[in-house]
Structure 1
């Protein structure tokens, strides 16, 4: 019995301390506080398979896949429950995505394609809806750990949200992005991402920026300070020219890898909507497991 327990413990330690992984599962939940209601919430899960082992010893653990230029496929699901003015609506958003880094003689090329489907189910018989969203990106790693990409997004129905945007940036920012595309149905996107070490320290810094040009335009900026390879703190800001209740949102986050295979984190987003019941704050908790 003691031998079996010792083997199980050794196996668990080997898994949670591994420096390479091929699968990642992450989950998160956001609690939404706005003027109309204080009991809304979301829950989301994403699973990612990398075609090759990801070496997590190259830098910040949170950016291991990006630093390895790891091609992958992902599936995601988001559940959201919203109550306002007597109406209770449940949203289900499903997504599938593939990312590829392709070596060339000049620089590594990048491509991604994704699909999301949203079902909006009103429990009071109001505003039932569903819709699809398709997105394609092409780009290149123009310098070490510096990605530039442009893309096209087609939104057949405004009930559609990007399942992966919800997981990456939170439901409030995903709603602003969806409202920016609005009735235009087609949008052009562009983004950059960089992660690099800070000379003379064991810290690293990350930057990302992007825009979505549809019926109107959304801009977003973010930065993350990796205090070491395990711990990071970040800040972000998004603003839209669309005539929405919430035209901007800022956020903060912290993430910590307990082991190279297990991480936990927390997020906060404030979407300011003056003179509206949509003045929103969200608090999120998330976790990742790699194997």
Structure 2
């Protein structure tokens, strides 16, 4: 009997230890339609390395790095293939770093590039923010896009927070506003979203954003689900519908592994 109890205790301790992680890699596949006429397929890869082990015991697994105030570096790559004869693929890649100091200061930097076969668009971004408390941060970000001479500068202010609810439930929410300065016009964008976590493993999200720059406006609504069948594995699905002057929709399916 004592041996059985000891074995159970060792197994539980091992499971708890493997729940923490330092890195993760993921893949996503999607299909959709642009302008109501052109179908597309897309596939992407992403990864993130945290400078220290991430404690997953503070809330939802999907929010673990945020709640543990983790510093990290990440990368991403994706390619989109339009279902049009002779059309070029649209490739994008990016790298980013986020540093959180002992005084709760947040410093972020990112670079990304998009190549549609004819033009390249390079985006540089730098952000500074702070944790207002252990479960809420706010970050101001300046970014600039150079699209072969057509520039777009943006100043964003974004807030993210996770609230503990009754029982095993939690609610995470995002609020953001941005000022956009294009070559000939300026404008703004707004975004808001929330994820209801039934428990630490399962979350259901809803988000919306809108953009208005000169004569161009768009609005997007998305709904998604994230599920951890085990602490080291995440499965996710997301559907979005974009309207306005830029019309598109699609569904994305993804999976990630932590280690």
* TM-score of the superposed pair, with normalisation by structure 2: 0.86
* SS in structure 2 of the partner of residue 216 of structure 1: strand
**How far apart in 2 are the matches of 1:281 and 1:120?**
19
Instruction: Give, in angstroms, the shift of residue 212 of structure 1.
Output: 2.6
Instruction: Give, in angstroms, the shift of residue 271 of structure 1.
Output: 0.9
What do the CA deviations read for 1:82-124 (whole angstroms, capped 9, x no partner)?
A: 246x6613111111110010112xxx11010001112221xxx
What do the CA deviations read for 1:226-263 (whole angstroms, capped 9, x no partner)?
A: 0000000000001011233x610101000100100001
Query: Gapped runs of 5+ residues in structure 1?
Result: 1-13, 122-127, 160-182
Instruction: Give, in angstroms, the shift of residue 15 of structure 1.
Output: 8.4
Match of 1:281 in 2: 249
Query: Gapped runs of 5+ residues in structure 2?
Result: 1-13, 181-185
**How far apart in 1 are the matches of 2:219 and 2:15?**
41
Instruction: Give, in angstroms, the shift of residue 158 of structure 1.
Output: 6.8
* SS in structure 1 of the partner of residue 18 of structure 2: coil
Instruction: Report the number of matched residues.
Output: 239
* SS in structure 1 of the partner of residue 58 of structure 2: coil
Kindly report structure 1 stretches of 4+ aligned residues shifted beyond 2 Å.
14-17
Alignment of 1:1-291 (within 5 A): 18-34=18-34, 35-38=36-39, 40-83=40-83, 88-104=87-103, 108-121=104-117, 128-157=118-147, 183-198=150-165, 200-214=166-180, 215-242=186-213, 243-244=215-216, 247-273=218-244, 279-291=247-259
Q: Is the 8 A contact 1:77 1:93 kept in 2?
A: yes
Instruction: Give, in angstroms, the shift of residue 213 of structure 1.
Output: 1.6
| Structure with greater contact order relative to length (CA < 8 Å, sep ≥ 6) | 1
* SS in structure 1 of the partner of residue 63 of structure 2: helix
Structure 1 residues 137 and 229: CA distance shift in structure 2, 3 A: same
Structure 1 residues 26 and 241: CA distance shift in structure 2, 3 A: same
**How far apart in 2 are the matches of 1:130 and 1:46?**
21
**How far apart in 2 are the matches of 1:249 and 1:56?**
31
Instruction: Give the strand-richer structure, 1 or 2.
Output: 2
Instruction: Give, in angstroms, the shift of residue 280 of structure 1.
Output: 2.1
CA RMSD in angstroms, aligned pairs only: 2.0
Instruction: Give, in angstroms, the shift of residue 134 of structure 1.
Output: 0.4
Q: Is the 8 A contact 1:15 1:261 kept in 2?
A: no
